[in-house]
Amino acid sequence: MSLDLPKVYPITDTYLSGLSHAEQVARLIEGGASLIQLRDKHAAPREFYREAASALKVARDHHARLMINDRVDLALALKADGVHLGQTDIPADAARQLLGKEAIIGFSTHNIQQAILATSFPVDYLAFGPVFQTATKENPDPSTGQTALREVRAIKGSLPLVAIGGITFSNALDVLKAGADSVAVIAVLLGDPTKIAENMSKMLAATSWLPNDRGTD
Ligand code: TZP
Ligand code: MG
């Protein structure tokens, strides 16, 4: 069955927010988040494991789903809901073998060729971007723009599509109209740690104009 993706898919960032992953998850859930990705490019695996375990407790208490960026081993050990893989992480079929068929596996793509290739992988959603310029990711691929996002929409079949990179309150709806099923966001939600819940619910409101199951108009 196709993954039921919420319109807004927040990703944690401890540098940007200055908060633990668990605290970010608590505030994002307060603002209405139901699927959250833990991303940490700096913490040692042991530290990320400990932090992710606390964050998972918060998520479970509120029936939210939690994804782990990059680390299939952590996702497996913690029984997280799934893993988000990049182009240099272990292959999706190996991750699927380890995590099983119930796990959610997401996969990052940065151009149309990568997206075409990924349609044959055992993944539950494709991420595509950065659609716009982003200051959050180190050494990002070139911005794709919305035309490329439309191209990906045309080739992706029924695979849910997550747009990422530079998404704001003002461009999120356009990105959904261009073909994304969901927007993954970091800076716009976490830049001001006192406003995480408020900004999360504002982003949900900004993206609520299209029905979840909109057709292929
Ligand atoms: N992958 C592509 S862009 C990006 C990642 C992880 C960062 C997105 O962050 P922001 O702050 O929403 O631009
Ligand atoms: Mg990665």
Q: How far is CA 96 from CA 65, 84, 125, in A?
A: 18, 11, 13
Model confidence over 6-21: pLDDT tens digits?
Answer: 999 999 999 999 999 9
* pLDDT number for residue 158: 93
* pLDDT number for residue 181: 97
Under DSSP, the state recorded for 11 is: B
- Provide the pLDDT confidence category of residue 215 given band limits of 50, 70 and 90: very low
3-state secondary structure of 97: helix
Q: Which ligand is in closest contact with the Cα of 9?
A: 1
Torsion angle (degrees, nearest 10) of CA 95, 98, 100, 104: -40
Torsion angle (degrees, nearest 10) of CA 78, 164, 86, 150: 130
Q: Report residue 202 as tokens.
A: 């504002």
Ligand 2 centre distance from Cα of residue 38 (Å): 11
- What is d(CA 27, CA 55) in angstroms, rounded to the nearest whole number? 11
Q: Taking 80 as the threshold, does the pLDDT of residue 216 lie above it?
A: no
- Provide the pLDDT confidence category of residue 1 given band limits of 50, 70 and 90: low
Mean pLDDT taken over the chain:
95
> What is the pTM (predicted TM-score) of this model?
0.96
Under DSSP, the state recorded for 184 is: E
Nearest CA to ligand 1 atom 5: 137
For ligand 1, pick from 36, 69, 89, 134 the residue to mutate: most ligand atoms within 8 Å of CB. 134
Q: Does 1 or 208 have the greater pLDDT score?
A: 208
DSSP characters over 13-72:
-HHHH-S-HHHHHHHHHHTT-SEEEE--SSS-HHHHHHHHHHHHHHHHHTT-EEEEES-H
Mean pLDDT confidence for 141-154: 96
Residue 70 near residue 58 (C-beta atoms within 8 A): no
- Ligand 1: lining residues by beta carbon, under 6 Å: 129-130, 134, 136-137, 140, 164-167, 185-187
Q: Taking 90 as the threshold, does the pLDDT of residue 127 lie above it?
A: yes
* pLDDT number for residue 217: 46
